Amino acid sequence: MDLQNHPKRWIAVIVFLALAQTAVSALVPRGFTLTLLADTIPFLLMLCATLAFATSIVGSTGRARLFWSLQTTGWGLLLCTQVLWMVYELVLRREVPNPFVGDVLLFLSEVPVLAGLLLQPHVEAHRSEDSFGAVDFMLLLLWWLYLYLFFVIPWQYVVPNEALYGSSYNQLAVIEESVSVIVLGALVYRSSGRWRRFYVFFLGAEVVSCASDYVANRAIDYHIFYPGSWYELPYICGLALFTVVAVAGFKLSPEKLSAPQKNHSFEVARLAMMAVLSLPVMAAWAYLDHSNPPAITRFRILVTLGTMLLMALCVFVKQHRLGKALGRMNQVLEEASVTDPLTGVRNRRFFDATIESDVAQTLRSYADGHDPRTRDLVFYLIDADDFKEVNDQYGHDAGDQLLVEMARRISSAIRHSDVLVRWGGEEFLVVSRYTDRSEAATLAGRVLTAVGERPFILPRTGEALYKTCSIGWAAFPWLQQAADAVGYHEVLSLADRGLLEAKQAGKNRAIGTLPSDRMLAASEIAAAAPSVPPGALPVQTLCTAGPGEPAT
């Protein structure tokens, strides 16, 4: 059974329990039976609230799931406190001592509730948010625990003093609950719709809970509180209202806001850092305050030093994780900076960053006499034929999709060691590394076939469109007997010249540009320098026809 589909049953149960507590307080005389009933009813109300909050965990994701988990954790701690209370009164048959060992759980139960509210679960999480909230939460949890150890525990165990214990606990609890009220007020202001109604219910329940805690704690301090007394009714009402809050949160999902929201994790991180920085101040205050017994001062300083050590460990863990995340992010940014955002292939920035090392590797291979089959560097300039017609007739979206598919087909035709670069517009560059210029025409033919043999399917209309490409290629080094005589820029220009000739020859073909077969004199080799325009170099061309074209 889906518990979220029956909110009226939840309300009926808590109303029945609240009325039962009222009847028990009015009709049952003080004694074991009253204690049994008065302890059992709050336990059942806490159990209802815990289960109601836990019900919302199922089906929720992301920040909302964490919020409901934290609320459930807080109520689980409160439930443990009630169990300890019942053990004293029902099993041991003893009056619950003041100070009470379960007070620390009662105090800490508010921490995950407050942490969940700081998540701002009504706002949909953005991918930009960091994933370090767990460490910040641990810092805040340690800080609240430290405050309890600093202000309350000394009067419970170091120098027992019931009056100072009670006043210290009450003051700290009021501060904690006041922070929750302030946060809830801010959330009411920032939210809208069902979330605002949820936060209003939450704020109302928190205010009633604050008032009931004050009444109960004062009655305990004056030793007039007992289970089932009228002082317990406001507490019962507060417990019932929190189940109403949980029911109001059924099937709530984060809002999708058009305007970017402030990253909540930064707020939590700032609070955590403020908590860390407050410790030296607290230690100095404990040392300089001579109104307390020396044992209290020593205990507070030791607790502060221990907490500083634990918090420093948490900060170290966070910084380590931040360093690793920053490294990953730098890799992502570096990858994005050398990748074409449309086609996903490399861009000209990548070419500029790597070409010098590729050229140097090729020159070393020639100088060392490496295998001729793996020492050349061949540049292929590839241009989509009649691409402007696609943009004019079908729109730029269709043109973009055609370029994406063309890049995919070219990638499938080249080797893993080759690099595909978006050279600009509808033009691509393939840098074929560790290859042999005698095999260059073969790769060009594979690219022509991969691009032109199958139709491109337009995304919106589904229309089949046959498109081809033209290729110009040239090999580096240009002169094998003088590898460093002509730079790679000039070889690229020769590849561009081959591309122009392929276009003029009818398109859908590849034209390779190679040095002339005639023997070059030493003076001609010297003339083939970077300062000489490519047109001055003696060349021959090799044409490879695409699918459906006659070879020339």
Say whether pLDDT at 127 is over 50.
no
Q: Beta 376-384 vs 427-435: how paired, if at all?
A: antiparallel
Q: Which amino acid is at 379?
A: F
What CA–CA distance (Å, rounded) separates 286 from 296? 9
What CA–CA distance (Å, rounded) separates 179 from 121? 18
> What interhelical angle do 62-86 and 32-55 show, nearest 10?
170
Q: Output the pLDDT for position 552.
A: 53
What CA–CA distance (Å, rounded) separates 277 from 135? 16
**Residues 11-19: what's their mean pLDDT?**
93
Average pLDDT of the chain?
86
Task: Give tens-digit pLDDT for 99-125.
Answer: 888 888 888 898 889 888 888 888 775
Task: Give tens-digit pLDDT for 244-276.
Answer: 999 999 988 876 654 445 555 566 778 888 889
C-alpha torsion 537→444→419→338, nearest 10:
80
Task: Give tens-digit pLDDT for 165-206.
Answer: 988 988 898 888 888 999 999 999 988 889 999 999 999 999
Range list for CATH 1.20.1070 in the chain: 3-333
- In 289-385, where does DSSP find H-type helix? 294-337, 348-368
What CATH homologous superfamily does 348-545 map to?
Reverse transcriptase/Diguanylate cyclase domain (3.30.70.270)
Q: Output the pLDDT for position 508.
A: 93
List the single range of 327-336, 450-459, 492-501, 506-515 with lowest mean pLDDT: 327-336
pTM above 0.75, yes or no: no
Pick the residue with more confidence: 332 or 84? 84
Class of domain 3-333: mainly alpha
Range list for CATH 3.30.70.270 in the chain: 348-545
What CA–CA distance (Å, rounded) separates 131 from 125? 11
CB 228 within 8 A of CB 34: yes
Say whether pLDDT at 523 is over 50.
no
